[in-house]
Amino acid sequence: MKIYITLTAVLLTLSSCSDANTHKITQDTVGPLSKSTTINDLSIVFKNDSLVDDSGSNDFRTPQGEVTVFEKGGKKLLKLTPQTNTKESKVKYIQVFDDRYETDQGITLKSTFKDIQNAYTIRSIENLIGAIVIFVNESDAYFTIDKKHLPGDLKFNTSSKIELSQIPDDAPIKYLQIGWE
């Protein structure tokens, strides 16, 4: 009887660890995806999910550009961009759509600029037409904030250098992306 209780406790612990890692973003992983995962491996890595490439196909013998990962229920999880359009290619960029994905510093799509600032050292801010992109030192993750949350003329000016103090603490993350080289 003691063996069954111990075995059950071990199995529960292992399954809860596995669940926690399903949506964890680290330096080398995004959920079950790693830097070494090839496009050919995606159907194994995401065996419980649906995969669709840019052409609308779920046949990965000849991938056509980006691959979108959906849960079986239809919820969009990730968009994966390969280095090249071959099945041996590794993933270069990942866009996160599901707010359950969380960086190792606790940042999700529900986080704000203040959360990013508290968790990371900000390396640079890119000023784009409708958004700013925040790059950090400690991670390959980068964060996009819609310019509609910025004050006054910063919303429309792409040549201004955006300072940290000009970004409201409560500005929400619009996109969470990871770039692997």
Say whether both 86 and 153 belong to one domain. no
Element (H, E) at 105: none
Is it the case that residue 69 has pLDDT exceeding 50?
yes
Residue 87 has a pLDDT of 82
> For 41-55, what is each residue's pLDDT tens digit?
998 999 999 999 877
Where in the sequence is the domain holding 125, given as residue range(s)? 102-179
Closest CA to 63 of 42, 34, 36: 42
Closest CA to 104 of 29, 19, 16: 29
Say whether both 118 and 143 belong to one domain. yes
Is it the case that residue 110 has pLDDT exceeding 50?
yes
Amino acid 177 reads Q
15-24, 49-58, 156-165: the lowest-pLDDT one: 15-24
Say whether both 85 and 109 belong to one domain. no
Residue 63 has a pLDDT of 59
What secondary structure does DSSP assign to 43-60, as a single string? HHHTTTEEEEETTS---T
- Domain-terminating residue out of 96, 113, 130: 96
Counting the structural domains of the chain, the total is 2
pTM of the entire structure? 0.84
CA 122 vs CA 111, 114, 136, 138: distances in Å: 15, 11, 4, 9
Question: Does 7 fall in a domain?
Answer: no
- Domain-terminating residue out of 51, 76, 96: 96
